[in-house]
Amino acid sequence: WMIFFQGNACIDKGIVKDHIRLGRIDTTIGCIVQVVIAACVIISGAALFGQVNNIETLGPAQLILTFSSHMGRTAGILFGIGLFNAGFMAAITISLSTTWCVSEAFGWKQSLNSKLSEAPKFYGVYIGSVVIAACIVLIPNLHLNYITLLTQVISGFLMAPILIFLVMLTNKKELMGEYKNNLFINIRACIVAAILIVMAVLLIFNSI
């Protein structure tokens, strides 16, 4: 979903070729910060592993309470704030990614710069996505961990063709102009795409 969000966000912000360097810096910083945060989450989980029975089945609320009881109230609060921030950001970005794609497919006006009255279908899909997701999450006794895993498996299936088409798209001179991939970028892109596809296949295999 990030591939679609990133592209549409750049268009919506009115980014032009003069901003490409700053856009690359912005993306690089985001990638580094994301990996650092993910590493912190993994290390935090590892600190509890072996001390708590069936930790992989715990929900968010149970995890926060577990952190509080084993590492102190401050750790539980910080972990809770982190979970809320991640969920809040995901609710916005993933819903927006979906909305941009649907609106583009049907040729609807699609911009956050537009008022609600100017792009009712765009905002309708966006608000609908958030509401539907919230309703699903609030279903009693729903296995949220399983749903999270399932979405990752689906993403793994979808990522392979998306990456292949992305590499093909960035090699079209009539679309990319002077920014068409050179040999070095193509080699790097193919290596990255291959690694991600292999990782996705392994995730799917292990999950099944």
Q: How far apart are CA 17 and CA 199, in angstroms?
A: 33
Q: Is the pLDDT of residue 105 over 80?
A: yes
Q: Does the reported pTM lie above 0.85?
A: no
Q: What are phi and psi for residue 49, nearest 5 degrees? A: -65, 130
Contact assessment for residue 88 and residue 77, using Cβ atoms and an 8 Å cutoff: no
Q: Is the pLDDT of residue 36 over 90?
A: yes
pLDDT in tens, 56-89: 777 778 888 888 888 888 888 888 898 888 888 8
Could you give the dihedral angle defined by the CA atoms of residues 138, 150, 30 and 111, in that order, rounded to the nearest 10 degrees?
-60
Q: How far apart are CA 135 and CA 94, in angstroms?
A: 16
Helix (H), strand (E), coil (C) string for 80-92: HHHHHHHHHHHHH
List the one residue out of 56, 57, 75 whose CA is nearest residue 65.
75
Asked whether the CA dihedral 131, 113, 111, 179 is positive or negative, the reply is: negative
pLDDT in tens, 127-165: 999 999 889 888 888 887 788 878 878 887 788 888 888
